[in-house]
Chain A
Amino acid sequence: MALLDVKDLQLSIGKFPILRDIDLSVDAGEILGVIGESGSGKSMTALSVMQLLPFGATTSGSVKLDGREVLGLPDAEMRKIRGGTVGMVFQEPMTALNPVKTIGDQVAETAMVHGGLGRRAALEVARQTLERVELPTSRFPLDRYPHELSGGQRQRVVIAMAIAMRPKLLIADEPTTALDVTTQAAILKLLQKLVDEDGMGLLFITHDLGVIAGLADKVSIMRQGEVVEAGPTVQLFRALQHPYSKALFEASSHVPPRIPPAVVGGSPVLAVDNVVREYPLPRRGLFEKRKVLRAVDGVSLRIEKGENVGLVGESGCGKSTLARAIMALEPTQGGRIAISGEPIDPKKGASFATRRHLQVVFQDPYGSFNPRHRVDRLVSEPFHLLGSAAPSGAERSKRIARALDEVGLSATDGEKYVHEFSGGQRQRIAIARALIIEPSLIILDEAVSALDVSVRAQVLDLLAELSDRLQLSYLFISHDLAVVRSITDRVLVMRAGKIVEEGATEEVFRAPKHPYTQELLAATPNLEAALAKREAAGA
C-alpha cells in the first residue's frame, strides 16, 4: 500500500473545474516529481492533500494517506495530519515565515501543537531539528528573527518547521525556485538526505525539468489539471509519449537559431569603464563613521553593434545595480559610461538624445505596465525621448502597428489593456515598447525568468530573430545559465560587485577558468547530465 495514494481526484472552484482524474502515488522513501507549467494544477493537487484549499473549492475522488481517506475529514482531524503525518514547504522563503517570531519559536510551535510538549521541551526539539537542516545553534541561535537570515537559510527553517515531527510525507511546492543555483543545489541535497535518513516520502513540485531529473525516482507531468504522462524518471524522459511532454522537453533545452553578428567598426553601443556604485550603510553608533557597500566595484565592459552579451551572477552580486547605473537610474561614484559614444554625466544623467539608444525590458510582465493605459499608449511611451521629432497622427499609429507586428502581436491589440494579455504576451508588449524608437541596445533584466518554459522558448526565438534582423545588441542579465548560453555571444560572470570571468559564451561554459564559474556551472541543474548519471547508476 502506497503512503500517499491519490485516485480520480477532481477539484473545482465554483463552477470552474481545476483538476480532472488525478492519479498519483508516493511510497515511503520515494521521491515523486510533479512537473507542470503555471496553471497546470500542481499546487492545487498538493493543497488537496493538505486540505488547505481556497474558499469555494469542492473535491471528489480519493486521497488516501497512510491508508486513511483525507477528503471530507473534519478540520480537527486534518489538523493532526498537517504538520504531523504530512509536512509542507512552500515556494517563497522570504514570506513563508512570520516576521515577528523567532525561528526557534516557529519551529518549536510544530512540536507544541503535535507533541503536546511544553515550551522548553519544544525548543529542544527545535534545536535538534534546526541542527538536522544544517542551521547549528552555535551559528544560528534560536532567538534569531527571519529577517536576519538569507533566503536559503529561511528555506531551511521552513523545512525544519515541516519535518520537526518526522512526518511520513513531505510536500515541497517549488521550494527552490526563488533561490540561487548554488543555494538550490544545497537545499536539494538536504531534502535527499532527509528522505534517505527518515524513509520519508517526498512529493516534489517544480517547473524545472533539470531539477526533477536529478532528484525524483518517478515523475508525473501535468497540464491543465490533468496528468498527461507518468512513469519512472529515466524511462519516462527517454521515451516521452505525449505530444505535450515532448514539447516541454524540447522547450526546456531550446536553443534559438542565430546568425553570429558581423564585426562592424565604429564606437561600441555600450562602453563601461571602471564603474563604481557605492551605498552608504546605516550608522552602527551615533558618532561612528558611515561605512559604504560597494555594490559595483570597478566594472568594465563593452558591447559592440549586434552583439549579445550575457551577465550572470547570483542575487546580490550587483548585476541589477550595474544595469541601473548604465540606464543612469542611479548615480555612480567613479568610472565612465558611454552609450553609442555619448558619455553619461554621472550627476545629471543621460540626455534624451542619448537615452533613446538604450531601452530596457524588466522581469515582471505583470508589474511593469500601468494597468490604466491602453497598449498603444504604453508602447509609444518612449517617443517622448524624441522631443519635437516624435511622430504624431497617422505616422505614430503606423509605428505602433509596426512595433506590435514585429513582436508577433497585431495592430488591433493596441486598443486593448494589459490585463487582457498573458504573461508571455505582456513580455512581447514590453519588447515592442523597447523597439519602437529603434534603440541600438536593449537591456534584458531577467526578462524571461518569470515565463513558463514553452513561452520562454518562443520569446527567446523572437529576441534572437530581432537581434539578427535589426542588428540589435542585448545586455542579457540572468541567473539562468542555460538561457544565457542559448542566446549570447559573450558572457560576463559577476560576483560581489566584480567581473570574475569574461569570454566567448561557449568557451566559458565548456571550460570555465574561475573557481566561482565552475561552482555555478556545477550547481546548475542539467537534464541530460542528470539522466546520464541515473542511467550509469542503474546500469
Chain B
Amino acid sequence: MPSIILGRLVSLILSLIAASIVIFLVLEVVPGDPAQFMLGLNATPEATAALRTALGLDGPLLERYFTWVLGLLHGDFGISYTYKVPVSGLIADRIWISLPLAIYALALSTLIAFPVGILAAVRRNSATDVGIMGATQVGLAVPNFWFAMLLVLLFSITLRWFSAGGFPGWQDPLLALKALTLPAVALALPQASILARVMRSSLLDTLGEDYIRSARAKGLSQGQTLWRHALRNALIPVLTIIGLQFSFLLAGAIIIENVFFLPGLGRLVFQGITSRDLIVVKSVVMLLVFAVILVTFLVDITYALVDPRLRRATR
C-alpha cells in the first residue's frame, strides 16, 4: 500500500509539471496584450511598452515561466492586471464559495444516486426501475441553468423560502449554507442522474457474477448478498464518476454561479478572460488542474482500498 501511494505521488507531481508548462505556453500564444487592454485604445506605444516592462511581460520565456512557478510554490500568484490586488487574495475569497458548493452538490448527488441506483438495480425491469430510469433521463436532458431558474421561481419567488441569489458570507454558516442550497440542488440534479445510472448498471453487472451465486448457495438472502458482496464490487466505476464530477463541479459551476450571482471561481475566470487579466486566468486554471489531479490521486487510493487486487501484493 505505501508503495502505491508513493508511485501515485510521483505521477501526481509529473502531471502538475506537465500541466504548468501547457497552461503557460497556451496563455503565451493567446491573442490580446494585457498592457494594451489596460491602457485602452488611445495609449501610446511607449506607454504600453513601459507597462509591459512593469508587468514583467517582456523577459525571456524560460525566465518568466520559472518566476511564475516559483511564485506559485510560495503562494505568490502575482498581482491582477485589472484589480491591482494579489491574485491569491482574489482566489481565496472565491474558493470559499466554489469549494463548499462543489462538496455540497456532490454530497447531494451521491445521497440521491446511491439509493436510487441500488433500488433500480434490485427491482430490475419493474415499474420502479422504469420510472427511475425515465426520471434520470429527464434529469440528464434538462439544462441545469433552466432547472435553476425553475427552482428560483418556485422556492424564492412563490414560496419565499430561499433568497434568489447572492452570498451573505460565512459569518453565519447556516445562512451561507442556505444561500448555497438552491445552486447545489441545481448542480446535483444532472450529476445524480448520471451517477444513479452508473450505479445501476455496475450493480447489475456485479449481481450477475458467479460469486453472487456462490453467496446465495451459502444461504445468504438477496439483501445480505447485495450488502455484503455486490455493493463493494460495484463501487469502482461509481468512484471514477464521482471523481470526474467533483472536478467538473469545482470549475464548471460558472453558469449556475451567474444565475445565482455567486462570486465563485467560475465567474473569476470568466471575468479574467474578458478583461485579458491573464495572470488571474493562469493561476485559477492551474489551481483547478491541481484540484483535478489531487482528486484523481485520492480516487486511485480509494480504488486500492476497495479492491485488494489493486494493492500490488508484496508478500
Contacts and interface: CB of A to CB of B under 8 A. Distances in A.
B216 A98 contact: no
B219 interface: yes
Contact of A52 (B211, B213, B228, B306): B213
Interface stretch (A89-97, A241-249, A352-360): A89-97
B210 A82 contact: no
A96 B210 contact: yes
Interface in A159-185: 161-162
Contacts of B233: 98-100
Given A284-B314, A286-B3, A98 B219 contact: no
Contacts of A68: none
A79 interface: yes
Contact of A50 (B211, B217, B222, B224): B217
Interface string B215-236: 1111111101000110011000
A83 B211 contact: no
Given A99-B309, A113-B218, A162-B218, 7 more contacts: A75-B222, A90-B214, A98-B233, A99-B211, A109-B215, A145-B308, A148-B313
Contacts of A81: 219
Given A109-B228, A145-B308, A286-B6, A97 B211 contact: yes
B41 to A, nearest CB: 58
Place the interface of chain A in its size category.
35 or more
A114 interface: yes
24 contacts: A75-B221, A79-B220, A79-B221, A83-B217, A83-B218, A87-B217, A90-B214, A96-B211, A96-B214, A97-B211, A97-B214, A98-B211, A99-B233, A99-B309, A109-B218, A110-B219, A113-B219, A113-B220, A113-B224, A145-B308, A147-B308, A147-B309, A161-B214, A162-B218
Contacts of A50: 217
Contacts, number: 80
Given A92-B210, A282-B312, A99 B307 contact: yes
Contacts of A269: none
B216 A82 contact: yes
A276 B3 CA distance: 31
B209 interface: yes
Interface of A: 50, 52, 75-76, 79-84, 87-88, 90, 92, 95-101, 109-110, 113-114, 145, 147-148, 158, 161-162, 282, 284-286
A75 B220 CA distance: 10
A88 B217 contact: yes
A83 B211 CA distance: 14
A-B pairs with lowest CB-CB distance, top 4: A83-B219, A95-B210, A83-B218, A82-B219
Nearest to B306: A100
Given A100-B306, A148-B313, A282-B312, A52 B210 contact: no
Interface SS of B by simple majority: helix
B228 to A, nearest CB: 7
Contacts of B216: 52, 82
Nearest to A147: B309
Given A90-B214, A286-B3, A98 B220 contact: no
Residue in B219, B306, B312, B313 whose Cβ sees the most chain A Cβ within 10 Å: B219
A101 B232 CA distance: 10
A32 B156 CA distance: 74
Contacts of A99: 211, 233, 307-309
B8 to A, nearest CB: 13
B308 to A, nearest CB: 4
A95 B309 CA distance: 13
Contacts of B213: 52, 90, 96
A76 B219 CA distance: 9
Which of B209, B211, B218, B309 counts the most chain A CB atoms within 10 A? B218
Nearest to B308: A145
B217 A82 contact: yes
Contacts of A75: 221-222
Nearest to B233: A100
Nearest to A81: B219
Contacts of A113: 218-220, 224
A153 to B, nearest CB: 15
A109 B211 contact: no
Interface string B280-315: 000000000000000000000000001111001110
A255 to B, nearest CB: 36
A284 B308 CA distance: 17
Contacts of A95: 209-211
A98 B229 contact: yes
Nearest to A82: B219
Interface centre among A81, A95, A100 (most CB of B within 10 A): A100
Contacts of B314: 284
Contacts of B217: 50, 52, 82-83, 87-88, 90, 162
Contact of A82 (B218, B229, B312): B218
